[in-house]
Amino acid sequence: MAPSPVERRPVSAPLHRRATLAALVAVGGVVGTLARHGLGLLFPDDPGQWPVTTFAVNIAGAFLLGMLLEALTRFGRGAPGGSGTGRSTLVRLGVGTGMLGAFTTYSTLALDTDLLLHRGAAGAAVSYALATVLVGAVTCALGIAVGARLGPRVAGRPERDGS
């Protein structure tokens, strides 16, 4: 008996199990890490002071990630949760997950907050942590607004604001 057409179709691995896509995320991660490290060398933060460079990196990364994901969603394929390997998906994984994921550094946010607390600068620690999260959310929303202006919505995908 011949196998049914469903049985003959090759099953593609999920995105997170594809070695080439994992490598793309890793390469993007190296680029993002080097960019963040380079900025840290150019603009070093004073120990015990508000970590301005890490704050700026996280805020810039939140804006860029919001803009990127909205723009990719507007252009169709590669939207978050998509399963294709089109150009948009490659950009989302390489630039979004890899580069911007490594560029932003919430582990350093936690470390810097802890260091400020241990140095007796509780006010600076709390303001730094809260400002990073709140300003990051606002700048991400601004990035989404900018990304929305980059191109028309793909047919069949409703606008977020109901229009």
pLDDT surpasses 50 at 163: no
Angle at 140 between CA 137 and CA 141, to 5 degrees: 90
What is the distance, to the nearest Å, from the Cα of residue 125 to the centroid of all Cα atoms in its chain?
24
pLDDT of residue 52: 96
Cα(49)–Cα(52) distance, rounded to whole angstroms?
8
What is the distance, to the nearest Å, from the Cα of residue 72 to the centroid of all Cα atoms in its chain?
13
pLDDT surpasses 50 at 162: no
Q: How many CB atoms lie within 10 A of CB 102?
A: 21
pLDDT of residue 80: 52
Cα(29)–Cα(41) distance, rounded to whole angstroms?
18
Residue 104 is labelled as binding a ligand: yes
Residue 96 is labelled as binding a ligand: no
pLDDT of residue 75: 77
Model pTM?
0.79
Instruction: Report the pLDDT averaged over residues 57-77.
Output: 90
27-37 confidence digits (pLDDT tens) = 999 999 999 99
DSSP string for the chain = -PPPHHHHSPPPPPGGG-HHHHHHHHHHHHHHHHHHHHHHHHSPPPTTS--HHHHHHHHHHHHHHHHHHHHHHHTSTT-TT----SHHHHHIIIIIIIIIHHHS-HHHHHHHHHHHHHTT-HHHHHHHHHHHHHHHHHHHHHHHHHHHTSSPPPTT---TT--
pLDDT surpasses 90 at 48: no
pLDDT surpasses 90 at 97: yes
Instruction: Report the pLDDT averaged over residues 11-38.
Output: 86
pLDDT of residue 3: 56
Asked if 78 contacts 92 with a C-beta cutoff of 8 angstroms, the reply is yes
134-145 confidence digits (pLDDT tens) = 999 999 999 999
113-131 confidence digits (pLDDT tens) = 999 999 999 999 999 999 9
Tell me the average pLDDT of the chain.
Answer: 84
